[in-house]
Chain A
Amino acid sequence: MKKLVFPLLLLSLTAFSPAQAADYVLDTKGAHAFIQFRIKHLGYSWLYGRFNDFDGKFSYDEAKPDASTVEINIRTTSIDSNHAERDKHLRDKDFLNVRKFPTAKFVSTAFTEQGNGKALLRGKLTLHGVTKEIDIDVEHIGAGPDPWGGERRGFFGTTTLVLKDFGIDFDLGPASREVYLDLSVEGIKQ
């Protein structure tokens, strides 16, 4: 009897799950996904950087977009601002402390379509060991078949983080307390 319970449970789960919700995996292999950041340098210019190593997935159902979910894992040591000495400092205790906090994670909690191809993605970001709810402004870029027999869907998201909120308080000056994230993601339908 006991042996029957688990297969039955699985059967019931597959029977009732919505068929339309498609799962997508971020195309990090082909580098069609980017986690970029920019922060003001002294208040005089924008400094750009990115994380090179991350993975993620999302589900999206055109009929039920509000049920969408997103999850992204970032290897913090892959930070790259095109300057080895600066990257070394950013990985150090003054900033990301990547030895202690090797990953950052975003897990969505809500997705709300706002019309006009815009949406609001809410979720929990864990960075530098601190988990905080953030809102990401999302723009639908496009979706459809790719030339190689697959299907893809892509979004562009922006959000602003106050570094101090995540326990990163190295003083870079009054104009450099916030970092702007630009997330450009393309998922391949599974």
Chain B
Amino acid sequence: MQLRNDAKRYGLIAVLLHWLVALAVFGLFGLGLWMTSLTYYDPWYRDGPALHKSIGVLLFATMILRLIWRWLSPPPPALSSHNPLERLAAKAVHLLLYLLLFAVMISGYLISTADGRAVEVFGLLSIPATLTSIPEQEDIAGAVHLYLAIGLIGLVVLHAAGALKHHFLDRDNTLKRMFGL
């Protein structure tokens, strides 16, 4: 399997980035819902959010790398069997996925840094606060973070449903390509 994307296939780097991001998004969504439901005396009451933030920052860095890689090595064009409506829908969903991912990550950062505190990444690195003066910042950022995350997962379901439709109904290579095949 080649590293770079070519005109027909995804390369190893794009494939790994795609599935790594998918895993992180599902993990962070579950962890986020679970950690905010914990009682005060739960051993994970502090570690859950710390892990959520650490992974979130790493996901942000990964997404930046992904955008750079996308620019350096553009993905292969859609299969010729896809009709114009499918192409348009796929493009729109991909674009929205990128936008929502960044919006969710930035809003999460704005909750924790609303009072000027930094975000710690596994205790090794700390990302300083920048915007701190939006009125009721932590509450607004919190609502945006939650609802956009739910929207993101909805969009992921649509994205996956599209892939499964191509695989099982159209019996084309769309899903297989995402494994580098």
Contact = CB atoms under 8 A, between A and B. Distances in A.
A91 B139 contact: yes
B138 A87 contact: yes
B39 interface: yes
Contact of A85 (B40, B41, B138): B138
Contacts of B112: 84-85
Contacts of B114: 84
B40 A171 contact: yes
Contact of A173 (B40, B49, B113, B117): B40
B116 to A, nearest CB: 8
Contacts of A87: 115, 138
Given A83-B115, A84-B115, A84-B117, A173 B41 contact: yes
B111 interface: yes
A77 interface: yes
Interface residues of B, number: 15
Interface centre among A87, A170, A173 (most CB of B within 10 A): A87
Interface in B36-51: 39-41, 49
B50 to A, nearest CB: 11
Contacts of B41: 171, 173
Contacts of A85: 49, 111-112, 138
Given A88-B142, A91-B139, A82 B39 contact: no
Nearest to B113: A84
Contact of A88 (B39, B40, B139): B139
Interface of B: 39-41, 49, 111-115, 117, 136-139, 142
Interface of A: 77, 82-85, 87-88, 91, 170-173
